[in-house]
Amino acid sequence: ETLKFKKAVIASGGRPSVPNVPGLKEAPYTTNEALFNLQVLPPRMVILGAGVIALEMAQCFALFGSQVTVLVRANKLFESKQGDPEAAEILQRELEKSGVHFLFGSTK
């Protein structure tokens, strides 16, 4: 079957990856798959990575009232993906207004 359209979004889904961070396996953590199943709002949350899903979760929980810090490997949002620097600055500013904090250059 052939589909014709002017614009499309292919949302094929994905699986979160748990990085090999010393001590993470022993710490209480969750992924985006189970995040909205939490029974209690965490007072603090650290999000590893700054992809679009991570930023969505960061803003959501910051607006719920958690203190959220996003650890970003790069020095700016979307830098590693060669994203639009102006859009990244606007997005960062808006997320910070929502209460999201960023730590850039977080590789260790």
pLDDT in tens, 82-94: 889 999 999 999 9
pLDDT tens figures, 21-78: 888 889 888 888 888 888 999 999 999 999 888 999 999 999 999 999 999 999 999 9
Distances (CA, A) of 12 to 15, 42, 71: 10, 29, 26
Query: Greater confidence, 94 or 7?
Result: 94
| pLDDT reported for residue 27 | 86
Q: Look at the chain and count its residues.
A: 108
Helices assigned H by DSSP within the chain: 52-64, 85-97
| pLDDT reported for residue 71 | 95
Residues with Cβ within 8 Å of 57's Cβ and at least 6 positions away in sequence, in order, are: 32, 35, 47
Q: Is the pLDDT of residue 7 over 90?
A: no
